[in-house]
């Protein structure tokens, strides 16, 4: 079961949304509805799911509906139509008391403007969510200390917000959200007010933090580079509607519309596309017990000048070159064990293309792509990399 499920969510701003709803169903645009009804379309028939432990980024330009959408998840905004479920519970059907209880237990929210109390210390700001819940002071202080340590602010507990940099203030906001130990973090343009260098640091911090806490995070941004950096998946919005949902690579390599194409056209694909995108299958492999003639035959069969050597479970052992196999044949050797090159560099499937440049510059052999157990997944050659960069996209078998 998905952690969050949103079904046909629509929000019309205005006192009489009925006419605007009918126009939406008939396909009228946001601007046309505003012109004819003076009602604003915040979100229009939006449906998607968020998996547990996922960072889902909702992105779009100003007015796309992304901030309106996130406020429906914990029902800070009431929908005109549609449903929101969290852990199978219909948030949109809860009464006031149930909603408050669910917000306190399920959600933490981090805003763009930090929202810290200037008269409170960092520790007291961090405790605030538990204080509202009536949690024992000793318990909330201990949990606040733990959260501040988690975000790298140990030792700053007695400081006032005015004494902190913007990035540190945002860390306090994040710690405050984490202190209530929510299942779900809602982050609305959380890093947008930060200087570029601090913003980049916070993006790295969030990724590292998520590796430790494994929260479900819905992150709002208007910045494509930020979305590509931190999102497991991206929901791209325009005029209140979802234009495309997918991984960063999905959106870069298979844009759903001309609008998406224009949106992503200036992205440096080398920083986003990964080895998985451009690797090709190692259609033939050699085994340590193979003879040099056998290995050479496999290479000729595929018109390649080298071959990966693997164990029977595809654990990578090394690589053998065609000229080495020919020399071994001349020497009368019966096995390839003596000509296996084992000092090759390997990459992970999620390594970005810009990390491959220096590796390929130092070798004339394809780079093996391996999983966490060093099992061979595929290979990347210079031609694959150059083709992907030249096209700006990958067809998966370059």
pLDDT attached to residue 392: 55
Low-confidence ranges of the chain (pLDDT < 50): 393-398
Tokens of 306: 């080298």
pLDDT attached to residue 331: 94
Tokens of 389: 């960069």
Tokens of 289: 């017990």
The DSSP string of 351-392 is: -BGGGTHHHHHT-SSPEEEE-TT-BEEEEE-HHHHHHHHHHS
pLDDT attached to residue 278: 86
pLDDT attached to residue 391: 60
Which helix (H) or strand (E) covers residue 307, if one does? strand 306-310
Q: What is the pTM of this model?
A: 0.73
The pLDDT tens digits of the residues spanning 335-386 come to 999 999 999 899 998 888 888 888 888 888 999 999 989 999 999 988 777 7
The 347-348 sheet, strands edge to edge: 347-348, 367-370, 376-380
The DSSP string of 102-127 is: HHHHHEEEE-TT----TTS-HHHHHH
- Domains plus CATH for the chain? 4-267 (3.40.50.300), 276-391 (3.10.580.10)
The pLDDT tens digits of the residues spanning 214-243 come to 999 999 999 888 898 899 999 999 999 999
Instruction: Give the chain's end-to-end CA distance (angstroms, integer).
Output: 36
Distance CA(73)–CA(68), nearest Å, equals 9
- Per this entry, what is the length of the chain? 398
Query: Sign of the C-alpha dihedral, residues 199, 200, 206, 208?
Result: negative
């Amino acid at each position: 079961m998905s952690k969050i499920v949103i079904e046909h969510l629509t929000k019309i701003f205005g006192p009489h949304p009925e006419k605007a709803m009918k126009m939406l169903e008939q396909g009228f645009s946001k601007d046309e509805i505003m012109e004819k009804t003076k009602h604003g379309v915040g979100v229009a028939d939006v449906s998607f799911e968020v998996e547990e432990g996922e960072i889902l980024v909702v992105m779009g330009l100003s007015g796309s509906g992304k901030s309106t959408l996130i406020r429906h998840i914990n029902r800070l905004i009431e929908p005109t139509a549609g449903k929101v479920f969290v852990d199978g519970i219909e948030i949109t059907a809860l009464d006031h008391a149930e909603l408050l209880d669910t917000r306190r237990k399920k959600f933490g929210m981090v805003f763009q403007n930090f929202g810290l109390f200037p008269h409170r210390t960092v520790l007291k700001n961090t405790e605030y969510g538990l204080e509202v819940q009536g949690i024992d002071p000793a318990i909330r202080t201990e949990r606040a200390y733990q959260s501040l340590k988690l975000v790298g602010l140990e030792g700053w507990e007695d400081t006032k917000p005015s004494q902190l940099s913007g990035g540190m203030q945002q860390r306090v906001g994040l710690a405050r959200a984490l202190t209530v130990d929510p299942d779900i973090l809602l982050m609305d343009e959380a890093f947008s007010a930060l200087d570029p260098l601090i913003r980049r640091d916070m993006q790295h911090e969030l990724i590292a933090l998520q590796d430790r806490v494994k929260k479900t995070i819905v992150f709002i941004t208007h910045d494509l580079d930020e979305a590509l950096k931190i999102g497991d998946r991206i929901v791209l919005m325009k005029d209140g509607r979802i234009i495309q949902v997918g991984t960063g690579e999905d959106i870069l390599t298979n844009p759903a519309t001309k609008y998406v194409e224009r949106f992503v056209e200036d992205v440096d694909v080398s920083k986003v596309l990964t080895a998985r995108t451009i690797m090709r299958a190692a259609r033939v492999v050699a085994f340590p017990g193979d003879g040099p003639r056998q290995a050479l035959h496999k290479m000729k069969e595929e018109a390649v000048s080298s071959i990966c050597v693997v164990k029977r479970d595809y654990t990578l052992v090394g690589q053998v070159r065609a000229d080495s196999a020919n020399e071994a044949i001349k020497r009368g050797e019966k096995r390839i064990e003596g000509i296996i090159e084992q000092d090759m560099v390997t990459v992970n499937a999620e390594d970005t293309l810009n990390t491959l440049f220096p590796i390929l510059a130092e070798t004339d052999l394809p780079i093996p792509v391996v999983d966490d157990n060093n099992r061979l997944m595929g290979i990347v050659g210079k031609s694959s990399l150059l083709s992907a960069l030249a096209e700006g996209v990958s067809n998966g078998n370059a």
